[in-house]
Structure 1
Amino acid sequence: MRKKALINLLIKIVISGFALYYVFSHINLNQIAEKISASNPWLLMSALIVYALSQLVSALRLKVLFKHLPIHITHLENIRLYWLGLFYNLFLPGGVGGDGFKVYLIGKHFKTELKKTIGAILSDRISGLSIIVILLLVFVPFINYDIPLKAYAWAGIPFVAAAFFLFLYLFNRTLTRAYLPVMGWATMAQLLQMLSAILILNSFDMEARDMYDAYLFLFFLSAIAGAVPITLGGIGAREVVFLWGAQYLGVNEGSAVALSLLFYTASAITALPGLIFTFQPSKILARNKVAKL
């Protein structure tokens, strides 16, 4: 099993490396370096804080799902568990992964049914993905590119929302009661991440401010690409989407790739405190044998 995990990790490193090589060989690296070095540090710091807030909101979203299983976990312990998952997903993507480790710890301390725990964590992921798709549909009519039926993109929003409800209904009907609050927290998390991207764009002091629709469309599209588990924490996949998208939508390629790299940096810095919980992860939930909501 360890050998398989190592092979998967090496494959992801190779794919990420090739993707980054492709991007950097098709763009002026000096242009990216200049944009990043000349960016407003206060706006970048604000973007980092806003992104960290989005992760706190995401942790609350997951707790809502735990509550309906029910899993009696306190807010602080849930945040610790969530941050441990962030660190594992970003820095140790070749092993069990953050989600897998959360399933293990919860099963160990709460003796919950494996299918239910996996369902809650998977539902958490899919809720975020659903909101990303909805926001993509919101931006489609505004981008300067000829997409078939783009004027009717908003008509697809109710179907995406209904698809997530159907997923909950089929996987675990108990979680359908969490549908509205989970979608609310998921929307707030993605809007905070969008605000973080806007702050990064504003830090560049350039034309991006007049093309928010195109940049944000690529931002959410790259989030979907980064979620596909074929690269090292999504690095490389997002940059390729930004590069290709910038060429199609007529936005500055350097600004697009710089946005991607800086947003990844924000996610890495935010996830880094999760390292603290890797030393004795079993203690995160040790007290929950008697804890109550």
Structure 2
Amino acid sequence: MFQIVVTVAILYYLFHDPQVRAKMATTLRNADARWLFLGFIMYGLVEVIAGWRWQLLLRVQGIELGWVRLCCLLLIGVFFNFIIPGGTGGDVIKTFYLLKETPGKRTVALLSVLVDRLVGLIALSVFAAVLIIADWQWLMSSPVVDKFVWPAIIILGGSFGGLHGIYIMTSRGWIHRLPARFPGRDKLAELALAYNLYGRSWKPTLSAFGLSFLAHLGYFAVFYCAGQALRHDNVRMPTFAEMCAIMPIVNTISAMPISIGGLGVREGLFQVFLNHLCSVPVSDASLVSLCGYFLTFFWGIIGGVVYLFYRPSDHARLRDIRSEVAELEHTVAEEEVALETAEVAVHGASGGGSKGEPDKAKR
């Protein structure tokens, strides 16, 4: 409810002025449909790349899923990302139906979705660092913009540092020492198991990492195409390089659970960045963001249609889906903690190795 209220409030604040809405309507009527269509196709390519990446991660664990079924799951995930607040609702749905597709490999199926998101997050952090450093002077040229750059750096840096900390805990075998009621213990144990399973398969994991860069570039290109479609008169829309510097910051902040799918927050950020860095009128800046959003939303609609005809099993209620996935996550986490505890006990009894460092090679 909070996210709904915030989303409505921000959108009302941004678009309540009738003159702004009139300018947006005029710009939209004159939009270049060819660029909009190209943006639509670009996001389709993003999902193809995401499918390729996910298939690599599934094959690491011996899961072969055909392209048709894989694409169905991806599009269904896109659909639920738009209708479930929180930004990860699509992952829960994808996980649930992937479990139905791979009944004998539930654990590795669950972890493939987790690692898929993890690889994308790490790639975005690295990508953002490179792009922000490359365009540092330009981004810092506006005292208004730099107030948003620093929070994005802190969020991405904190996420990257947190993942590194979890890796250290995993490599030293400390997960089992956490109290059973420790917040996020199950998720930490899942990550530990994911590191163990995918750390040995570094080549396909590295390939998935590279594909994530291409997926991010494709997503940035969607908003670049939206800007080019709305270009008019003497308005200079951002170049592709400039859009690539802006988008990681916008994505990072709008991904915070403030509004539904970042709607409203994203438009406000586009107003700030495009207006202060490229002198784009605020009405056009908001429209660029909305057009980019709807170019991806159309694929969500396609995913909704796919969901209606997707029948690996009877459709379950969202509450039941969340419950089943959460139960499996807890089971997987407890299995990892038990395995880690057993390995530490074996080392303690044999006197071999450093205390608290399980033999990961035996897994």
TM-score between both structures, scaled by the size of structure 2: 0.63
Q: 1:240 aligns with which of 268, 284, 287?
A: 268
Aligned-residue offset at 1:56 = 1.4
Contact 1:19/1:236, CA 8 A, preserved across alignment: yes
Match of 1:258 in 2: 287
Aligned-residue offset at 1:14 = 1.5
Q: Aligned pair 1:19/2:10, yes or no? A: yes
Aligned-residue offset at 1:103 = 1.6
Aligned-residue offset at 1:245 = 2.9
Aligned-residue offset at 1:247 = 5.1
Aligned-residue offset at 1:263 = 0.7
Aligned-residue offset at 1:188 = 1.3
Aligned-residue offset at 1:230 = 3.6
Secondary structure (helix, strand or coil) at the match of 2:312 reads helix
> Aligned residue pairs: how many?
271
Match of 2:197 in 1: 174
**Distance in 2, Cα, partners of 1:267 & 1:225:** 18
Aligned-residue offset at 1:165 = 12
| 1:278 partner letter | Y
Q: 1:64 to 1:35 in 2, by over 3 A?
A: same
**Distance in 1, Cα, partners of 2:14 & 2:105:** 44
Q: 2:299 aligns with which of 270, 274, 277?
A: 270
Q: 1:246 to 1:160 in 2, by over 3 A?
A: same
Deviations 1:38-88 (A, max 9, x none): 221111111111111111111221222222233221121111111111111
**Distance in 1, Cα, partners of 2:313 & 2:66:** 11
**Distance in 1, Cα, partners of 2:78 & 2:219:** 15
Contact 2:77/2:90, CA 8 A, preserved across alignment: yes
Secondary structure (helix, strand or coil) at the match of 2:260 reads coil
**Distance in 1, Cα, partners of 2:236 & 2:87:** 38
Aligned-residue offset at 1:128 = 2.3
Q: 2:34 aligns with which of 14, 32, 42?
A: 42
**Distance in 2, Cα, partners of 1:210 & 1:276:** 34
**Percent identity between the two aligned chains:** 19
Q: 1:112 to 1:106 in 2, by over 3 A?
A: farther
| 1:257 partner letter | S
Moved more, 223-232 or 268-277: 223-232
TM-score between both structures, scaled by the size of structure 1: 0.77
Unaligned runs of 5+ in 1: 1-9, 286-293
Deviations 1:90-135 (A, max 9, x none): 1344899321122222223423566544432122223223333333
Name which one, 1 or 2, has greater alpha-carbon Rg: 2
Secondary structure (helix, strand or coil) at the match of 1:71 reads coil
Unaligned runs of 5+ in 2: 168-189, 315-363
